[in-house]
Amino acid sequence: MKHSYLMTPGPSPLLPEVKAALGRDIIHHRTDEFREVLKEAHEGLKYLFQTKNPVLIFSSSGTGAMEAAVSNFLKKEDKALIVMGGKFGERWKEICESFGVETVPLNVEWGNAPISEDIEKLLDADSGIKAVYTTLCETSTATVYDIKSIAEVIRKKGLLCVVDAVSGLGQDVLKTDEWGVDVVVSGSQKGLMLPPGLAFLSFSKKAEKFLEESDLPKYYFDLKKASKSWEKNDTPFTPSVSLIFALRESLRVIREEGLETRWKDFGKMGRALRSALTSLGFEILSKSPSSSVTAALVKEIDTASIVRKMRKEYGISIAGGQGHLKGKIVRIAHMGYINPSDIVMCLSVLEKVLADSGVSIEKGVSLKAFQEVYYA
């Protein structure tokens, strides 16, 4: 009889309209009816990505689209600068190296955001670098990067700017065309309120030149093939029909509410949550906190046990730390279908679990702090 709440930074809870769409009968994908669904989804994605360029849909995890962003735009023995400030920066490096691309890291302390001047210096020092791979929201540290400034530096040099927006899209501001971001990738199970299983990739006119010259092997994630199909509201391989029905619903709701409204609301949720966690004596990990997820350092206690107790005893799933932050932080998502009242509920259980673990706190202190900021 216990409720279950999903407050992890992906998967995040499903929109009711999404659940209804998932349970419906399937139709054949090479029909006018399905092309109409794809067309609507394509339009909605352009709005979400803030671009006039194509946004392709892959049946895969977000990592599939990240691979596509490497294998389709680079050549053998190309060199790429990777912003390494967390687990998903590392993923760019691993993918590049799997494809024989040489990587130049910009090491950023976990919890910090990269400084665009540091990127500029590295690019000045090495004229062989062809592309920069970075992240909108580094989920492992709950840090948002200043993509606008980063993109400007890259654009001035005529290089390719690639952004992993898997967890940030929909909450953290991203203006793809206005900021001159060339390639943006994302996934379905975060801001889009869908199950995992779809990935997305938008690419600019400038990126087309890189695409033409690329000679790395690809087939399933071949963007040339995918773009050709995209023009006809089609896909090269059988698409995830059920997930795409659900995608259309999610995009409708996002559009109805409006991105500006959502950006503001998630920003406020983040600020209120940071105030609440600070009131519990936690330290906010990030120097540049994201609007999609919040990470806080907890000193007195192994956070893995907090995460476990919250899930097992109260049905609330939050996340712990990854890499060297394992056991040291809690991460609470505010993305997609997560509402402020969900966060209040989560905080109330967090207080109880902390008290049970012997941490002395004043009852309701974090709830008060949240209310004071969110409902100011």
- What is the C-alpha to C-alpha distance for residues 359 and 204, in angstroms, rounded to an integer? 52
Q: How many binding residues for its own copies (CB under 8 A)?
A: 52
114 touching its own copies, by CB under 8 A: no
Supply the minimum distance, in Å, between the C-beta of residue 62 and its own copies.
7
2 touching its own copies, by CB under 8 A: no
59 touching its own copies, by CB under 8 A: yes
Helix (H, G, I), strand (E, B) or coil at 299: coil
Site stretch for its own copies (CB under 8 A), options 15-23, 168-176, 201-209, 365-373? 15-23
Supply the minimum distance, in Å, between the C-beta of residue 360 and its own copies.
30
Supply the minimum distance, in Å, between the C-beta of residue 20 and its own copies.
7
Choice from 227, 242, 278, 288 touching its own copies (CB under 8 A): 242
Range 191-220, binding its own copies (CB under 8 A): 195-197, 216-220
Computed from CA positions of residues 97, 100, 101, 106, in that sequence, does the dihedral angle turn out positive or negative? positive
Among 15, 49, 19, 16, smallest CA distance to 337 is for: 15
Judged by beta carbon, residue 4 or residue 261, the one nearer its own copies is 4
CA distances from 9 to 64, 172, 224 (A): 18, 13, 32
Choice from 141, 189, 286, 290 touching its own copies (CB under 8 A): 189
N-term to C-term CA, the chain:
34
Tokens of 230: 């995209």
CA distances from 241 to 22, 150, 340 (A): 9, 36, 32
Site string for its own copies, 21-50 (x = CB under 8 A): -xxxxxxxx-x-------------------
Residue 256: how many other CB atoms lie within 10 Å: 8
67 touching its own copies, by CB under 8 A: yes
98 touching its own copies, by CB under 8 A: yes
99 touching its own copies, by CB under 8 A: yes
Choice from 50, 51, 53, 60 touching its own copies (CB under 8 A): 60
**370 CA to centre of own chain:** 24
Choice from 102, 118, 222, 265 touching its own copies (CB under 8 A): 222
Q: Number of C-alpha atoms within 13 angstroms, CB side, residue 372?
A: 10
Residues ≥6 apart with Cβ < 8 Å to 155: 161, 180
Judged by beta carbon, residue 59 or residue 371, the one nearer its own copies is 59
Choice from 57, 241, 338, 343 touching its own copies (CB under 8 A): 241
221 touching its own copies, by CB under 8 A: yes
234 touching its own copies, by CB under 8 A: no
Tokens of 266: 């998630």
Supply the minimum distance, in Å, between the C-beta of residue 39 and its own copies.
19
Residue 175: how many other CB atoms lie within 10 Å: 15
Tokens of 90: 């590392």
Judged by beta carbon, residue 68 or residue 259, the one nearer its own copies is 68
238 touching its own copies, by CB under 8 A: yes
CA distances from 165 to 30, 67, 89, 121, 352 (A): 30, 14, 12, 24, 34
8 touching its own copies, by CB under 8 A: yes
- What is the C-alpha to C-alpha distance for residues 142 and 273, in angstroms, rounded to an integer? 13
Instruction: Summarize as ranges the residues that interact with its own copies (CB under 8 A).
Output: 4, 6, 8, 10-11, 13-14, 19-20, 22-29, 31, 59-64, 67, 71, 94-95, 98-100, 187, 189, 195-197, 216-222, 237-243, 311, 317
